[in-house]
Amino acid sequence: MGEIGIGILGGGYMGKAHAVAMSSVGAVFDTALKPRLEMVCATTPQSAERYRAAYGFARATDDWRVLVKDPRVEAIVIATPQETHREIAEAAFTLGKPVFCEKPLGASLEDSAAMVAAAEAAGAVNMVGFNYIRTPASQFARQLIAAGEIGEVTWFRGEHTEDFLADPQAPATWRTTGMANGTLGDLAPHMINGALALIGPIARLIGTHETVHATRPGGAVTNDDHAQIMCRFEGGAMGQMYFSRVATGRKMGYAYEISGTKGAIRFDQEDQNALWLYRMEGPEATRGFTKILTGPAHPDYEPFCQGPGHGTGYQDQIIIEAKDFLTAIAAGKALWPSFRDGHEVNRVIAATLASAKAEAWVTIDDY
């Protein structure tokens, strides 16, 4: 199919990750569409030019409208703050351009609903960035559950815990201002998406959130440091999730445990190349969790490395996302996780906020 011009909005942490992924994906996965880094957009001409030179883009701009409208930009990656997502995506869909948007999808439930409507009205390819569920180990976990290898799922526990704000003397930043930038807006979407992918839709929940350090050097904290929910999945399983940016000692605590009638699964992103599987079979004396090291037999692993146990890393998750986005564009239809999947995550977050305010169980269908 040839080349496709890629425009990336944002050149910081995630902008760089997506630029590197688009530069690498064609070689790693031999995709039908070969990305061409056409244009990058940043907040100033100076930073845009710096990113252009560093990442290998053909051109740079400090005006997102210029990038979106440019005819050589054929697909768009949004890696900007969530309050900018809606306007950019709607403009791109008006032109029929495919859009990949970092999570969370927009800054509110209203935003994500409008973005879903715009994408589907335009019939344009759309995808939202949930990278952690794409590790070979978690993809394999999804396969095991779907195949009934651990039987009927009865219980799920998930967490996304980090400690980048565990120190109360860490200064106030944009991350400590506004609920969209708090733990429910920042970390929770990843594990909620993981729960939906592994177990299925959530029927109802009760949630709470808390600001642990109300003030920091430089100002007041206006969003949540940690939050938790108890839930009931539509399939009947019980569940609980915890999210924190003040979990001392945790660096990338995207982890889950799943119990079923025939077995169980455990995973921790800090050891992302291992999945622990328990099968309730054989003599009791020899039963136990088996550590499965990912390798070429697992999803999306072999293109990176032919050696079992050698492992993949964080950047490889973003390359897998890029492959999925290009595959969707080539097929002409949205693939998982689409904007609608991102909106489902936002519905759970909205329900959690409402539950915390009411101090009561709420039903997801009401949001």
Architecture in CATH for domain 2-131: 3-Layer(aba) Sandwich (3.40)
* 1 has pLDDT over 80: no
pLDDT, tens only, 214-268:
999 999 999 999 999 999 999 999 999 999 999 999 999 999 999 999 999 999 9
User: What does the pLDDT look like over 336-357, one tens digit per residue?
Assistant: 999 999 999 999 999 999 999 9
Predicted confidence at residue 186, as pLDDT, reads: 95
- Count of residues for the chain? 367
Residues 6+ apart with CB under 8 A from 360: 206
- Residue 197 neighbours by CB distance under 10 Å: 19
CA–CA separation, 106 vs 95, rounded Å?
19
251: exposed, middle or buried (C-beta count within 10 Å: 0-12, 13-18, 19+)?
Answer: exposed
> Edge-to-edge strand order for the sheet containing 2-9?
59-61, 33-41, 2-9, 75-78, 99-102, 126-129
pTM of the full structure: 0.96
All structural domains of the chain with their residue ranges: 2-131, 133-310+345-358
Q: Is 13 exposed, middle or buried (0-12, 13-18, 19+ CB in 10 A)?
A: exposed
Domain 133-310+345-358: homologous superfamily in CATH: Dihydrodipicolinate Reductase; domain 2 (3.30.360.10)
Average pLDDT over residues 136-157: 98
